[in-house]
Amino acid sequence: MKQIRTYEHKKILVLGLAKSGVGAASLLHKLGAFVTVNDKKPLSENPEAQGLLEQGITVICGEHPIELLDDGFELIVKNPGIPYHNPMIEKALLKGIPIITEVELAYEISEAPFIAITGTNGKTTTTTLIYEMLKEGAKSPLIAGNIGLVASDVAQEATEENTIVIELSSFQLMGIRTFNPKIAIITNLYDAHLDYHETRTNYHSAKANITNNQTEHEYFIINADQEETMKIAAESKAQIVPFSTRRVLENGAYVQDGSVIFNGEKIMDTKDIVLPGVHNLENILSAVAAAKLSGVDNQSIFNVLNTFAGVKHRLQYIGEIEGRRFYNDSKATNILATQNALAAFHEPIILLAGGLDRGNEFDELIPSLKNVKAVFTFGETAGKIERVAQEAGIKMIERVDNVEKAVPAAFKYSKPGDVILLSPACASWDQYKTFEVRGDIFIEAVHKLK
């Protein structure tokens, strides 16, 4: 790692812990800063804070005392989940205290270049694909951010021989100053996180930060099929590399005559790609562009796309039992994600859906249910999903207690050739701690059928 002196003897507040806060506090302590950590969880219930205390770092737990900001801090490293309308953050901004997120620290100390991926949907799949392609092509990648290890931890171990492939949220991107990836990607933009960003414009501006520091020496891979992303590209100083699933491009990544093409060169046939879905084809094209710009050979790209069956819980292929194929899409915590999942299949679908009720209706799903022959519902939104299923003309609709019971019920009703798809269109928190827990229970229930 680079031995920078930027933070030496600086008084810095790390606000909010979780993994990134712990990583930031430890790193700043190593860099010679006077670090104070403030976390809302009481110290007795906070092993992370206890560990920092043992390192000699000042720790204040149990509340966020606003008067703490009168102690002369020169910088705040904010947990990405803390919104900017938080009273502590509002006061810090009024006092003119700079606020960054942990990814900025990672960039400042890293000897390795970054490939950074953001967007509303597809970030994790795209990040994983790029990592696997670079690994297959012997490019020594490391993975970080939301998908992997804390970026500042990874950056401390990285050398010039590595490339850090990092998934970034809009929350993280709001807290950068100098972060400048060699390759930046925006997969797509839809309305999301408006409770945090308040307006669509704010959300899009946060995403645009991924390219703000890029120059003509860097690359910006962008979805050419979206007006919103192209507007951001028009303001970028980087070399623009577009991708499109809908049309042939002069340069960049696209599909033509059943082939994946990059800059006019055929990479592989689309029929040899294992990962289903048009939305995944977008992810694949952006990943191919990043891999080719990184010097990965076509055979390595083929090897990955010919075997990669999906990130866990994201339209993940679980297996086939007596002619029925099972897919785990527990990460589909909103309607758009479930629409994308349903569009990935031409076969008859048995849909398992339901979960936390956030007050929205599900009428937008109706056009996407044309291939659905049965729906098994669970959770707080079961009744709402049953209503739209009825309106879509689906005759088999059954409510069950939970995902574990939905799997055998769906299998009993199904026939060979059917797809049994968990794609809830809802968050999991009414019944399960996380979408990962929900997906794991689905996988276990499928294995029990065997």
Q: Is pLDDT of 228 > 80?
A: yes
* Closest listed residue to residue 212, CA positions, set 165, 157, 173, 251: 173
* Closest listed residue to residue 131, CA positions, set 178, 174, 183, 175: 183
Predicted confidence at residue 312, as pLDDT, reads 87
Region of 128 (left: φ > 0; alpha: ψ -120 to 50; beta: rest) is alpha
For residues 362 and 372, give the distance between their C-alpha atoms in angstroms, rounded to a whole number: 15
Predicted confidence at residue 199, as pLDDT, reads 82
Predicted confidence at residue 181, as pLDDT, reads 98
Q: What is the token pair recorded at 137?
A: 């092509």
Q: Is pLDDT of 24 > 80?
A: yes
In the chain, ranges of CATH 3.40.1190.10 domains: 106-305
The rounded percent of the chain whose pLDDT value lies above 70 is 98
| pLDDT tens digits along 355-368 | 999 888 999 999 99
Q: Is pLDDT of 106 > 80?
A: yes
Q: What is the pTM of this model?
A: 0.83
For residues 200 and 24, give the distance between their C-alpha atoms in angstroms, rounded to a whole number: 29
| Annotation: binding site | 119-125
CATH class, range 106-305:
alpha beta
Give me the architecture of the 11-100 domain, per CATH.
3-Layer(aba) Sandwich (3.40)
CA angle 279, 146, 359 (to 5 degrees): 65
Q: Is pLDDT of 417 > 80?
A: yes
Q: Which residue has the tokens 């999903």?
A: 385
Mean pLDDT in the chain? Answer: 95
In the chain, ranges of CATH 3.40.50.720 domains: 11-100
| Annotation: binding site for ATP | 119-125
In the chain, ranges of CATH 3.90.190.20 domains: 316-449
pLDDT level of residue 277 (50, 70, 90 thresholds): confident
pLDDT level of residue 194 (50, 70, 90 thresholds): low
Paired strand residues for 117: 167, 185
Contact between 112 and 159 (Cβ < 8 Å) = yes
For residues 139 and 137, give the distance between their C-alpha atoms in angstroms, rounded to a whole number: 6
For residues 40 and 46, give the distance between their C-alpha atoms in angstroms, rounded to a whole number: 9
Helices and strands, number each (H, E), in the chain: 16, 20
| Region of poorest pLDDT, from 81-90, 94-103, 294-303 | 81-90
- The hierarchical CATH code for the domain 316-449 is 3.90.190.20
Q: Which residues of 420-435 are buried (b: 16+ CB within 10 A; e: fewer)?
A: bbbbbbbbbbebbeeb
Q: Which residues of 63-78 are buried (b: 16+ CB within 10 A; e: fewer)?
A: ebeeebbeeebebbbb
| pLDDT tens digits along 120-145 | 888 999 999 999 999 999 999 999 98
For residues 280 and 286, give the distance between their C-alpha atoms in angstroms, rounded to a whole number: 10
Q: φ, ψ for residue 74 (rounded to 5)?
A: -100, -15
Q: Is pLDDT of 237 > 70?
A: yes
pLDDT level of residue 195 (50, 70, 90 thresholds): low
For residues 349 and 365, give the distance between their C-alpha atoms in angstroms, rounded to a whole number: 14
Q: What is the token pair recorded at 399?
A: 């409510």
Which amino acid would we find at residue 285?
L
Contact between 124 and 307 (Cβ < 8 Å) = no
Q: Is pLDDT of 192 > 70?
A: no
| pLDDT tens digits along 299-349 | 999 999 999 988 889 889 999 999 999 999 999 999 989 998 999 899 999
Counting beta carbons within 10 angstroms of the beta carbon of residue 31, is it exposed (0 to 12), middle (13 to 18) or buried (19 or more)? buried
